[in-house]
């Protein structure tokens, strides 16, 4: 299973790519595998606030509907609208299929690096 070194991770299996004052957020390959084939993604709202540890959207797979938590606090600058018509991109390339781009970041503490996330997956 791939766990890119340049990303940060949460225990609820989201990834964050910090780029200066902005960040991209998506779900990990582990999450995508566990969920199974995704059939629907609820798009978040541009301009809305996200709070660390709270759901900002949900995804639907053939098994269930699941919340996607925000790993950081800030404002949604952009939404990846491509996912609405092509949720399969999340299964195909989870680290490219970002859900939201966040700016005005106020809290990005307490995230795991790739090694810590890998160790965490071992415990599951």
Partner 1 sequence: MKLVFERSVPGRNTAYLPKLDVPEITLNAELREKKLNLPELPEVEVDRHYTELSKQTRGVNGGIYPLGSCTMKYNPAVNEKTAALPGFTDVHPLQPVETVQGALEVFRETERLLTKITGMDAFSLQPAAGAHGEFTGLLLIKAYHLSRGDQARTKIIVPDSAHGTNPASAAMAGFEVVNIASDDHGYVDLDALRAAVGPDTAGLMLTNPNTVGLFDPHILEITGIVHEAGGLCYYDGANLNAVMGIARPGDMGFDVMHINLHKTFSTPHGGGGPGSGPCGCKAFLADFLPGLRVKEADGTGLVEGKAASTIGNMRSFAGNFSVIVKALTYIYVLGKEGIPATAKNAVLNANYMMEQLKDLYPMAFEGPCMHEFVMTLEKMKEETHVSALDIAKALLDYGIHPPTMYFPLIVHEALMVEPTETESKETLDEAVQVLRQIYADALAAPEAMHEKPLTTPVRRLDEVGAARNPVVRYRFAD
Enumerate binding residues for partner 1 (CB under 8 A): 37, 39-40, 60, 62-65, 87-88
Return the number of the residue (17 or 91) whose C-beta is nearest partner 1.
91
Q: What values do phi and psi take at 19, rounded to 5?
A: -130, 90
Counting every residue, how long is the chain?
A: 124
Return the number of the residue (19 or 92) whose C-beta is nearest partner 1.
92
User: Residue 123: CB partners within 8 Å, gap ≥ 6?
Assistant: none
- Name residue, tokens 């491509």: 82
Nearest distance, CB of residue 66 and partner 1, angstroms: 8
Nearest distance, CB of residue 72 and partner 1, angstroms: 21
């Amino acid at each position: 299973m791939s766990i890119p070194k340049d990303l940060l991770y949460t225990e609820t299996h989201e990834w964050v790519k910090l780029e200066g004052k902005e960040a991209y957020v998506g779900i990990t390959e582990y999450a995508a595998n566990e969920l199974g084939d995704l059939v629907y993604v609820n798009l978040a709202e541009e301009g809305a606030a996200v709070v660390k540890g709270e759901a900002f959207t949900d995804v639907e797979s053939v098994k269930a509907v699941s919340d996607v938590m925000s790993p950081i606090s800030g404002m949604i600058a952009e939404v990846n609208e491509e996912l609405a018509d092509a949720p399969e991109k999340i299964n195909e390339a989870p680290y490219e299929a970002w859900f939201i781009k966040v700016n005005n970041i106020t809290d990005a503490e307490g995230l795991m690096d790739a090694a810590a996330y890998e160790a965490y997956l071992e415990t599951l």
